[in-house]
Structure 1
Amino acid sequence: MQCLHRRGKFQLFKKFLSKIGIGAATVNLVLDDARGRIGEEVIGKILVEGGNVEQQIDAINVDFNMEMKLDDRTARSRIQSLTVARNLQVKPGDKLEFPFRHLLPELPQTSRYVRYTYHTRLDIPEALDKHDFDEFGVLPNLSIATVQSALHKLGFTEKFESGVFNGYYQEFEYRPMEGPFAGRISELEVVYITEANGVRMHVEIDKKGKGLLGALADSLDLDEIHFNMLLTKDLLANPDATLNTLHQTLEAELNNPSPNRYPSLPKVRGKHKHHHHHDAAVLSAGIAGYAIDDLVFDGDDSSDSGDYDSGDFGSDD
């Protein structure tokens, strides 16, 4: 009788420990691939292992979160929240497995300024929830990937500070290390905006100036060329045609630049960029295309960031 009493007290003690997370059921998201492309499905499985006592699990939830770094601030957004299962009774020794599938929406791609995390959690009533965090790399959609590949083949290399996202659009910076534009272009800045019939590129070319006149032109921004171009879906289906079109367009703009009738985009960092309302529909379409509701910066008291915390970005050093 005394032995049964001790066993009962021990069970109560284990239940108490499980409520504070010790010996509780655990969860683990296992992905087939740690990277995925916009517009494609992320596939994996969720493993739940029973703890020391039987527990009620109200739900298995997976949040897909984004963090972005802009200047010295970090913003966070919960992009999507998925419920994988509900109302589970998990016993000691149980090993449960649930399929996981997630279609990646239109998002900025991963860079040193943008990162993503899957946050998997067990919703356990009247106890500490159990968590699992998995870093995930978001690749551009196939159309933008085709353009980026063409630029690479033309000798352009993405700069270290490329990929800034300011909450509206993402800017990429390239330098021609070889190929037909080496020594002629100092920097190429591009914003890719996915439209219904293709990809629109907002482009800024910084020409490579020489001598005192080149330095003067650079200081007055006279060496900059601004334009935009639409690469249609039919064109993007042919990588060679895409490369040739980019090559010809860049050559034409260098040799006979168009008047700067197209607006450049607002500023991302310290550079001044002019505002125009002429192409507002194109810009707003790009903004609306991202599946991001709210970006909450650190220190914003109005935020509802929940318990999401996947650590800090690395330093810029």
Structure 2
Amino acid sequence: MSLFRKSLASFGIGAAKVDTILPHDVLIPGQPLPIEVRVQGGATEQQIDNIHLVLCCRYLDEVTTGRGDSDQRKEKIPQTCKLAEWSLPEAFVIGAQEERQFAFTLDLPFNTPVTIGDAQVWLDTSLDIAMAVDPKDKDTLTVRPEPLMDGVFTALEQVGLRIRQVECEAAKGFALPFVQEFEFVPVSGPFHGRWRELEVVAYRDEQGLQLWFEVDRRLKGVSGMLAGFLGRGELKRELQISADCSPEAAGEQVVAFLDETT
């Protein structure tokens, strides 16, 4: 193969390509994620040192912007969080126009954000090629609630609560640099007229589902639950649901807890 073609491949022209195939359109946190990575050779033979995958999501962080002291203000700026990383340390040579496939299974982390509202989750795949532009592939993922959280959402909907807003925002004290906050409003049922809104933050691990709630009865001026996570006091309403609990029982437990404590 000519030196010219090898030089072009080093700049990404006629180089190997990578494509990640996900057999399932909808993913559930905590469940296995089967993945197939296809590597297609380019115009010339190339050495592939590694295949690297990164599961990412978007969250908002409040940062101070502005150049002068009098012009500084706080803005919510999108940030990228690496939820998990995997590498396939299998160096190999891909021939010209050759195709190779790698099939494996990964675990989707429990606290991968549910893709509702502005939440974004994606998988970056890249080939590590020495002295060359690394080929990349980006796949946007659709993530739905894991069973316990789904049972909670279903129960809240059945008593007349509707999701109004979902945000991933920076927060301290958690394994990840953010939490996903779900904001509900009562449109009917027993909480209509009692509450202005309900904010829910969830954290899932092997032991179960931990939930924090904040109910706002005021007609105006809401500070938001995240104030508690950011140092303005502990949240008072907290509930732990065991991993052994069924989704239906989890929902019933949450509704009863909110009715008794609010």
Q: Which residue of 2 aligns with 1:121?
A: 126
The yes-or-no answer on 1:84 pairing with 2:84 is no
* Aligned match for 2:105, one of 101, 107, 110: 101
* Residues 149, 247 of structure 2: 8 Å contact kept: no
SS at match of 2:188: coil
**Cα distance 1:15–1:39, how it changes in 2: closer, same or farther (>3 A)?**
same
User: Hey, what's the Cα distance between the residues in 1 that align with 2:236 and 2:213?
Assistant: 6
1:80 CA drift (Å): 2.5
Deviations 1:19-77 (A, max 9, x none): 11111111100111243211111112111111111111111111222321235212223
Q: Which residue of 2 aligns with 1:205?
A: 215
Please report the TM-score for the alignment, with normalisation by the length of structure 1: 0.65
User: Hey, what's the Cα distance between the residues in 2 that align with 1:106 and 1:246?
Assistant: 20
1:112 CA drift (Å): 3.8
* Residues 70, 113 of structure 1: 8 Å contact kept: no
Larger-gyration structure (1/2): 1
User: Hey, what's the Cα distance between the residues in 1 that align with 2:32 and 2:206?
Assistant: 20
Q: Which residue of 2 aligns with 1:12?
A: 3
* Residues 19, 137 of structure 2: 8 Å contact kept: yes
User: Hey, what's the Cα distance between the residues in 1 that align with 2:111 and 2:206?
Assistant: 16
Q: Provide the alpha-carbon RMSD of the alignment.
A: 2.6
1:188 CA drift (Å): 0.8
Q: Which residue of 1 aligns with 2:52?
A: 61
Q: Which residue of 2 aligns with 1:309?
A: none
Q: Which residue of 1 aligns with 2:145?
A: 140
The yes-or-no answer on 1:229 pairing with 2:229 is no
Q: Which residue of 1 aligns with 2:232?
A: none
User: Hey, what's the Cα distance between the residues in 2 that align with 1:125 and 1:245?
Assistant: 55
User: Hey, what's the Cα distance between the residues in 2 that align with 1:141 and 1:34?
Assistant: 15
Unaligned runs of 5+ in 2: 63-75, 171-176, 224-234
* Residues 148, 247 of structure 2: 8 Å contact kept: no
Aligned length: 231
Unaligned runs of 5+ in 1: 1-7, 210-214, 255-317
* Aligned match for 1:44, one of 35, 40, 49: 35
Please report the TM-score for the alignment, with normalisation by the length of structure 2: 0.77
User: Hey, what's the Cα distance between the residues in 2 that align with 1:168 and 1:36?
Assistant: 20
**Cα distance 1:198–1:96, how it changes in 2: closer, same or farther (>3 A)?**
closer
In terms of fraction of residues, the more strand-rich structure is 2
Q: Which residue of 2 aligns with 1:298?
A: none
Q: Which residue of 1 aligns with 2:13?
A: 22
Structure 2 counterparts to residues 159-308 of structure 1, below 5 A: 159-160=164-165, 162-166=166-170, 167-194=177-204, 197-207=207-217, 227-234=237-244, 236-237=245-246, 239=248, 241-254=249-262
Which amino acid is the alignment partner of residue 96 of structure 1? R
* Aligned match for 1:149, one of 146, 154, 160: 154
